[in-house]
Amino acid sequence: MSKNKTAGYKGPYGYQKRREGDGEWDFNWCDVGWLRENFDHSYMEEHVRICHFRNHYELTRKNLMVKNLKRYRKTLEREAGRIEASKCDFFPRTFELPSEYHLFVEEFKRSPGSTWIMKPVARSQGKGIFLFQKLKDIMDWKKDGSRSEEQRDETQVESYVAQRYIENPYLISGRKFDLRVYVLVTSYIPLKAWLYRDGFARFSSTRFSLTSIDDQYVHLTNVAVQKTAPDYDPEKGCKWQMQQLRRYLTARHGTETIEALFKDVDNIFVRSLQSVQKVIINDKHCFELYGYDILLDQDLKPWLIEVNASPSLTASSQEDYEMKCCLLEDTLHIVDMEGRLTGREKRVGGYDLMWNDGPVYREDVNLETLGSACFTANTHLGCVNDRKKQLRQLLKPFPSKKRI
């Protein structure tokens, strides 16, 4: 069995680079560009695996994600009532421009003095993002009949989303940060999703202040952007491991409060995936590792900023490198090309099974325990990740193991 990989990843498996025109592969870690061009023309045998879903952009493109979430929320409200639907209120008010320009203006006028953030729909790493407080800053996205036909054809404006900027982010020592969390989806129908215990908090290298909205270094916490800031010190490291953050928050606010916070974070993953469940083209060959960006506000409410289909795997430090290697190793364990797993596992390495066509609990749910009210979710974000030990026990050689 040969494993091929596109250039860029140096893993412990000793991947070979894919040769052009070589259509034979068993496992493909490709980028979305390749997928777009080749997926539809590739014939994949039963055992083959590829690391993206065909139309993943329903979740990872900012405008589509919002569209799907809004629609899902409406459905929930209709079917299960307002309270249930309010559990989807984890993304800030968002409008696609120029198509929803008028709706946006209505909302904008309702909240005078508010700050908004403009993000290009399809770019990454913080490119093209800016903040604004006045309508005149986004004149280019104005949709009205005043521009002539020729003008409209000439200057095809890139699709953006305008999103209400979270003006009260949770600050640590005056600095803003966001969370990067890894969620692995191996199937949408039924929905099966794993949550990785490690992740990190990315700090902005300058202090937060609303008075300097032009200073993109303050507001954008993407490491890619931070690296270009004049006072960026690569030795400094703008990241904290998730465990570090969780401990800090627990020391500050107490165990119960932070457990509730992480439960809310779990809710974001599950609902966002559910919102695209019916839209994504399910394919047993596909799996996808998402990089979720979450922001906390001062009331300890988590907000979904965006979902990345190709989270960066380049490392900013030794610690980061090790974490990402382990992340990939465990992803491959779950994809399980070797057929070593039974399919009934609730944990593989650093991954905990978060959703398996229904919530997954730490406790074993059986006839006896069914009556009891307290089940805890099987997620351990920011908790101890003793993956090596767990893998040793899990992958002990067995005479014969059948994959279900």
Partner 1 sequence: MMDEGTELSLTIAQIVQRLKATHLHSQIERQAKECLHRPEIQLESLKEDVRNFLKASGWERKLQNAVYRELHVQPLPSHPAAPPEHAKEPLAYMRKAQVNWEKRILKSLNSMCTELGVPLARKRPAVEQKELTNKWNEMGTDEPDLSRFRPVYAPKDFLEVLISLRNPNHDSSEEASAKSHWGLIQVPLHDRDIPQMREAYSELSLTTGQLGIDDHTHVPPDLFESEHTRIGKKVVNEQDSAAAQQYSRQGCPTGLRADLWALILNSTNEPEDVMHYEQLKAGVIHHDLLVDNLIYKDVKLTASNDDYYFVFEDFLYQVLLCFSRDTAVLEHFSYNSATPPKSYIQGKVGVEEFAVVYPPNGVIPFHGFSMYVAPLCFLYNEPSKLYSVFREMYVRYFFRLHSVSSSTSGIVSLCLQFERLLQTHLPQLFYHLREIGAQPLRIAFKWMVRAFSGYLSTDQLLLLWDRILGYDSLEIVAVLAAAVFAFRAENLMEVTSLTSAEAVLADLSTLKVMPLIQIFLFATVI
Angle at 162 between CA 271 and CA 314, to 5 degrees: 65
Query: Taking the complex as a whole, how short is the minimal distance between the CB of residue 367 and partner 1, in angstroms?
Result: 23
Our CB check for partner 1 shows the closer of 93 and 247 to be: 247
Residue 244 in contact with partner 1, rule: CB under 8 A? yes
Which of 8, 81, 234, 237 is the binder for partner 1 (CB under 8 A)?
237
Task: Name the amino acid, one letter, at 111.
Answer: S
Residue 3 in contact with partner 1, rule: CB under 8 A? no
Which of 94, 186, 206, 331 is the binder for partner 1 (CB under 8 A)?
206
Q: Is 403 exposed, middle or buried (0-12, 13-18, 19+ CB in 10 A)?
A: exposed
Residue 236 in contact with partner 1, rule: CB under 8 A? yes
The site string for partner 1 over 251-290 (x = CB under 8 A, - otherwise) reads xxxxxx----------------------------------
Query: Taking the complex as a whole, how short is the minimal distance between the CB of residue 200 and partner 1, in angstroms?
Result: 11
- Return the H-helix or E-strand segment holding 321: helix 318-335
Query: Taking the complex as a whole, how short is the minimal distance between the CB of residue 255 and partner 1, in angstroms?
Result: 4
Residue 172 in contact with partner 1, rule: CB under 8 A? yes
Residue 207 in contact with partner 1, rule: CB under 8 A? yes
Per-residue burial over 225-243, b = 16 or more CB atoms within 10 Å of its CB, e = otherwise: bbeebeebeeeeebbbbbb
Residue 364 in contact with partner 1, rule: CB under 8 A? no
- Encode 157-216 in three state secondary structure: CCCEEEEECCCCECEECCEEEEEEEEEEEEECCCCEEEEEEEEEEEEEEEECCHHHCCCH
Choose the binding region for partner 1 from 17-25, 56-64, 122-130, 171-179 (rule: CB under 8 A): 171-179
Token pair of 194, please? 């794993």
Query: Taking the complex as a whole, how short is the minimal distance between the CB of residue 338 and partner 1, in angstroms?
Result: 26
Residue 31 in contact with partner 1, rule: CB under 8 A? no
Sign of CA dihedral 285, 274, 198, 177: positive
Least Cα distance to 349 among 190, 198, 237 occurs for 198
The site string for partner 1 over 366-385 (x = CB under 8 A, - otherwise) reads -----------------xx-
Residue 319 in contact with partner 1, rule: CB under 8 A? yes
Least Cα distance to 210 among 222, 199, 218, 220 occurs for 218
Our CB check for partner 1 shows the closer of 252 and 284 to be: 252
Tokens 């003793």 belong to which residue? 386
Site for partner 1 in 42-101 (CB under 8 A): none
Which of 160, 240, 290, 355 is the binder for partner 1 (CB under 8 A)?
240
Angle at 243 between CA 237 and CA 246, to 5 degrees: 105
| Contact positions vs partner 1 (CB under 8 A) | 172-175, 203, 206-207, 231, 233, 235-237, 239-240, 244, 247-248, 250-256, 317, 319, 383-384, 386
